[in-house]
Amino acid sequence: MLRQFKYRLYPTPAQETLLNKSLEECRFVYNQLLEQRKKSYEEQGETLRLYDQTAAIVPMKENRPSLKSVNAQVLQNVAVRLDLAMQAFFRRIKAGEKPGYPRFKSYGRYDSFTYPQAPSGCKIQGDFVQLSKIGQVKIKLHRPIKGTPKTCTILRSAGKWFATFVCGFTEEEARELLLPESTEEVGIDVGLKDFAFLSTGEAIENPKFYRHDEKDLKRVQRRVSRESKGSLKRRKAIKALQKVHSRISNRRRDFAHQQSRKIINRFGFIAVEDLHVNRMVHNHCLAKSIMDVAWSMFFSNLAYKAEEAGRKMVRVNPAYTSQDCHKCGHRQKMPLSERIYACPCCGLSCHRDHNASLNILRLGLQSVGIQSREAAGFIRAE
């Protein structure tokens, strides 16, 4: 089992210069390797292998001595990244999609590099992290690192620096992460009006982080558009724009982590919708709201937290969960404007999202061979 630990770095001005230089050298290698792949396919009809490109990095150092200032394994990882990008490109082609060809990275567009065999080249020493070719950089360990570090990625984001450690756990260490057993079950129906509605009758409010900061975002974007390209004022405006975007994404990520943790700590069985969010955003009227609510991030957090805590999480087909009565199975059309589900057959009356969450729980239990039980607490129409 693998788990990520992300920490803030506080490099000195000299160290920040070295970090930026390392990113630019990695960007150069990435573009050179991509050019080699492109030429090989156009001229010879052959696709270069990962090991061929890894070996091609050594001759590059003779023509560009500045590459020697970057850890060798970091440069080799650049070839691995490009190989993964090409694999994803061809996989999408085989699936019938229309993917874009991997792009050359322009200045400032390469924001991370990885030490693939931590602690080799990257090791925590007290309140500092020793980075090969960089030096001892101050790190804020806001929580203790657990497991055995496998890789370390240095990331530049909106003018800030972070270190992300991917740690592996032995079976014994993984057992320590298990939570006490819980017999509670829940079905979760996600939406735009409410972020989520639980089968217990509880609703999680949609925070709408993007909508709340949209005015600030537009104001800063206008500043960027007014400045001429390449100017110092434009670079400053872009950095301010990055900070606003970073603030929105950080709040959204924190919200998804907090809500998923609460659910995992409480429930032993969790049923959620198997949504295809990429298809849903094709609806331009709802695309911005769907991207803002970040269902995929929430489901992803639930999945890995459930795995490490020993919980059971299943995904079910959401078709007709809002239209079917969870009591008698009667199906009726439910426009989005109708917020109360009133069944004409059994007389059931409840919130439409509550009814959908109960259907999701029923389908989830059936998928694992458990007979669903009738939930209490509904108001029947007289």
Percentages helix, strand, coil for the chain (3-state, rounded to 5) are 45, 20, 35
H or E element at residue 34: helix 13-44
Phi, psi of 178 (to 5 degrees): -65, 140
Cα torsion angle, 107, 109, 111, 115, sign: negative
Q: Would you give the DSSP letter of residue 68?
A: G
Catalytic residue annotation = 189, 273, 353
For residue 292, which phi and psi values (nearest 5 degrees)? -70, -35
Residue environment code for 287-324, b if the CB has 16+ CB neighbours within 10 A, otherwise e:
eebbebbbbebbbebbebbbebbbbebbbbebeebbbb
**What's the token pair of residue 300?**
């992803």
DSSP letters spanning 177-200: TPPPP---EEEEEE-SSEEEEETT
Residue 173: CA atoms inside 13 Å, Cβ hemisphere, count?
11
Q: Which amino acid is at 63?
A: N
